[in-house]
Structure 1
Amino acid sequence: MENTHSLETSGIVYRAIDHIALAVIDLEAAIRLFTSVLGFKLIGRRHIRGAKTGMHSAELEHGGLRFVLCQGTEPESQVSRLVSEYGPGVAHIALEVDDVAKTVGELGTRGMRFDTSVIEGPGLTQSFTARDANTGLSFEIIKRSGEHGFVDDNIQSLFDQLEKSNSY
């Protein structure tokens, strides 16, 4: 084992996986898979527009598990570029923490790069890491304070920041 430090002694405590976001080619087909085959409940849909591009998304839940399905609205959108570069699949994994800013700071000292600042909204604070070239993964660091779903202003801010930085 390379690293035998527990998360608690390393200064970061992850509480749970809040959700997993998936980049998909066909949102409606993905919704059918999750609802008709896997038995998840569709709890929400969104359409987000940036300055140049957009995305459609759907939130699904079952037994405390939550997935967010995302489809780009045009070939230049972040999600479409992600699918083009890495294929459909995991866009990011959201890790629940007690203090987003503190966790972002600690991860930053360890070399983690971030594509967004800390985004705060009513009941929800979040930040997104840059995509790791080796694993293809991006992580969302998230804290909920009474908000079960997602805050439209937070999602719009996230989309705008990622679009501005040309990240996906």
Structure 2
Amino acid sequence: MGDTEPSVLSGFFADLVRCETRLYNALNDRLREQHGIVTSQFEFLNHLREHPGARVADLAAEFAIGIGATSKGADRLEKQGWVARQPNPLDRRSSLLVLTEEGARLVEAAQETFTETLTDLVAGTLDPKAITAAAQTFATLRAALEDREIGAPAG
């Protein structure tokens, strides 16, 4: 592992970040145009669909962003009527986030757009074996970074 050329690592980082930015921006544009939401809102709503009753702290940990930014994002979703806060029976200081019926309908429709866009941009460029290999590679890297608590926001 230590034998990787610095220029290869630098190129890996540049390509990774630029691909992520371009994919994120393309998803942002498509989701905004078709559903009136942006990628970060879709990700929050989708996470809540898959993990009903998550706390703001759970979202912050999942997306490696600060608690304050996560709380503001949840507030915006709540103001739109897509998310509701419920009392946390295990901790009165926190609340649990759940999708409203409107939020569930929105994320369901947006999931189709999200999948279609990724299919067009990724599967339209890479073959299935390359996508599977890349997915495994990034899952391994993400797990290692998370296990070592690297890059987690301070607050």
TM bracket (short chain) = under 0.3
TM-score, L = length of structure 1: 0.22
More strand by share: 1
Larger Rg: 2
More helix by share: 2
